[in-house]
């Protein structure tokens, strides 16, 4: 089977408890016209399934991955170790340090296996970053991101005007 264009975002969560962050990422991507898919695959409990999913990126057109995990947060690094597709890690709150452990696990990847990281629980920013990566080679997507940011700025300007600023 030949590879399809890498214009889709793969979203993976290590646990169903992290699905809300995935839904926020998917909603942003849908708003921008980017196709995505979401899977629940634990790096620890289903490593073979995760490896098969990663191995199928080319045939399914996955060009960026958002990997969402808490606690030990190995999922983003495990995915990144198996592909050259850009991986964005989303640490989730929980555990003894309310997400700090997950954040540190994701940002301290060893040299040669990069993982981009957004704030704890910030699925929306993960979706925006994934879209921005794809927009490097898609001017239409770049225009939609620019329009979204302009609308965001206009909303803030309207709020300030309502406050008399």
Q: What is the pLDDT of residues 41-60, one digit of tens each?
A: 999 999 999 999 999 999 99
Long-range contacts for 124-129 (Cβ within 8 Å, ≥24 apart)? 124/24, 124/25, 124/27, 124/28, 126/21, 126/25, 126/66, 126/68, 126/88, 126/90, 127/9, 127/24, 127/25, 127/26, 127/27, 127/28, 127/29, 127/32, 127/66, 128/28, 129/88
Instruction: Work out the pLDDT band at 62, boundaries 50, 70, 90.
Output: very high
Is residue 28 a contact partner of residue 12, using CB atoms and an 8 Å limit? no
pLDDT at 3: 66
Question: Does domain 8-162 bear CATH number 3.40.50.1970?
Answer: yes
Residue 152's pLDDT is what?
92
* DSSP per position, 82-112: T-SS-EEEEE---TTTTTHHHHHHHHTPPTT
In tens, the pLDDT along 78-111 reads 999 999 999 999 999 988 889 999 999 999 999 9
Q: Which residue has the tokens 């940011």?
A: 149
Of the ranges 2-6, 76-80, 152-156, which one carries the lowest mean pLDDT score? Answer: 2-6
End-to-end CA distance of the chain: 59
Six token digits for residue 98? 């309310």
Cα distance between residue 63 and residue 60, in whole Å: 9
Query: What are the residue boundaries of the structural domains of the chain, listed by start?
Result: 8-162
Distance separating alpha carbons of residues 31 and 14, to the nearest angstrom: 24
pLDDT at residue 161 is higher than 90: no
Percent of the chain with pLDDT over 70: 94
By the 8 A CB rule, do 66 and 130 touch? Answer: yes
Nearest to 91 by CA among 83, 82, 99, 80: 99
The pTM for the full model equals: 0.93
């Amino acid at each position: 089977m030949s590879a399809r264009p890498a214009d889709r975002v793969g979203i993976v969560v290590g646990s169903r408890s992290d699905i809300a962050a995935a839904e926020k990422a998917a909603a942003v991507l849908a708003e921008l016209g980017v196709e995505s898919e979401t899977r629940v695959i634990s790096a620890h409990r289903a490593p073979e399934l995760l490896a098969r999913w990663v191995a199928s990126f080319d045939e399914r057109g996955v060009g960026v991955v958002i990997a969402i995990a808490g606690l030990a947060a190995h999922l983003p690094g495990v995915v990144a170790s198996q592909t050259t597709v850009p991986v964005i890690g989303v640490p989730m709150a929980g555990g003894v340090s309310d997400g700090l452990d997950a954040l540190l696990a994701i940002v301290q990847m060893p040299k040669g296996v990069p993982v981009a990281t957004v704030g704890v629980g910030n699925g929306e920013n993960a979706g925006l970053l994934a879209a921005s990566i794809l927009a490097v080679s898609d001017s239409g997507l770049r225009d939609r991101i620019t329009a979204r940011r302009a609308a965001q700025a206009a909303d803030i300007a309207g709020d300030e005007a309502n406050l008399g600023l």
